[in-house]
A and B are shown apart, each in its own frame.
Chain A
C-alpha cells in the first residue's frame, strides 16, 4: 500500500483566497483524521470521520474551515477565506479501528503558507 497520500505538498496563497487540501487514506481504514501542526500547539486534531461520517469537528477553528469525505478513499479540508494565521502544516491520518487504541498512519503533510 502507498500509505496515506496528501496533495499538494506545499501551497502558497494570498490572504482571502480559498485553499483546498486533499487526502487519500489507506484502503480499508475506517477512520480519517485531519490535524494541524504548529510550534505553539503541536499536533491539533481538527476533525475526524468514521465510515465517511464526521464524528467530531470540535477542533475546527472557525467557520472558515470545512471538511468533507464524499467516499471512503477521498477527503478534503477547505479554508475559505484563508488568513496568514492559518499557515501551518496540515496532516491527514487514517486508522483501521477505533482511534482510542489503534495506531494512526499519517500522510506526509501539506505545508500551507498564507501571505
Chain B
C-alpha cells in the first residue's frame, strides 16, 4: 500500500514559469517530509525538507508547502530552469511511522527552454 503518492508521473513547464509538483500522504503520523531530485544515471539527492510544525519552507527558488489537514504537500520551483529537468521524489517519515522514509513514485519534470 502506497503511503506516499505522487499522482502526476510527468510535468512539462516553460523556462521561467512556475513548476508545481504535488504529493499526498495517507499516514497522519508522518511529521517530516523531504523532496529529492534525481538525474538520469545518478542517485537521488536531497533538495528540501519541511517539518510538520511549519507550513512553508523556502530555499532559493524552491519552496515546499505543507497542508496537514489535507495530507498534501507541494514543491514550487520559481523560476524554472532547464537544469531543473529531473525526477522529483517526495518522502515522508515520522516518530510513530517507523524508523524509515516512505517514498513516492516520482514526478518527471521537463523544463522547456
Is A bound to B?
Answer: yes
Give the B-binding residues of A (Cβ under 8 A): 4, 33, 35, 39-45, 48, 55-56, 91, 93, 98-101, 103-109
Collect the chain B residues with CB atoms within 8 Å of residue A55's CB: 99
Alpha-carbon gap, A99 to B100, bound state (A): 6
Total number of A-B contacts with CB less than 8 angstroms?
63
Alpha-carbon gap, A64 to B103, bound state (A): 24
Please state if A106 and B44 are interface contacts (CB–CB under 8 Å). Answer: yes
Give the A-binding residues of B (Cβ under 8 A): 2, 6, 32, 34, 36, 41-46, 49, 89, 91, 93-95, 98-106
Alpha-carbon gap, A41 to B103, bound state (A): 9
Contact among A42, A105, A109 for B104, CB-based, below 8 A:
A42
Tell me the smallest distance from the CB of B74 to a CB of chain A, in Å.
17
Alpha-carbon gap, A9 to B23, bound state (A): 30
13 A–B pairs (Cβ distance < 8 Å), ordered by A: A40-B105, A42-B2, A42-B6, A42-B89, A42-B103, A42-B105, A45-B101, A45-B102, A56-B99, A91-B43, A103-B34, A108-B43, A109-B41
Contact among A43, A107, A108 for B103, CB-based, below 8 A:
A43
Please state if B94 and A41 are interface contacts (CB–CB under 8 Å). Answer: no
Collect the chain A residues with CB atoms within 8 Å of residue B45's CB: 106
Question: Told that A35-B103, A45-B101 touch, could you supply 20 new A-B pairs with CB distance under 8 A?
Answer: A40-B105, A42-B2, A42-B6, A43-B89, A44-B103, A45-B102, A56-B100, A91-B43, A99-B93, A99-B99, A99-B100, A99-B101, A100-B32, A100-B93, A100-B100, A103-B46, A106-B45, A108-B41, A109-B41, A109-B43
Contact among A35, A41, A93, A107 for B105, CB-based, below 8 A:
A41
Alpha-carbon gap, A109 to B45, bound state (A): 12
Closest B-chain residue to A35, C-beta based?
B103
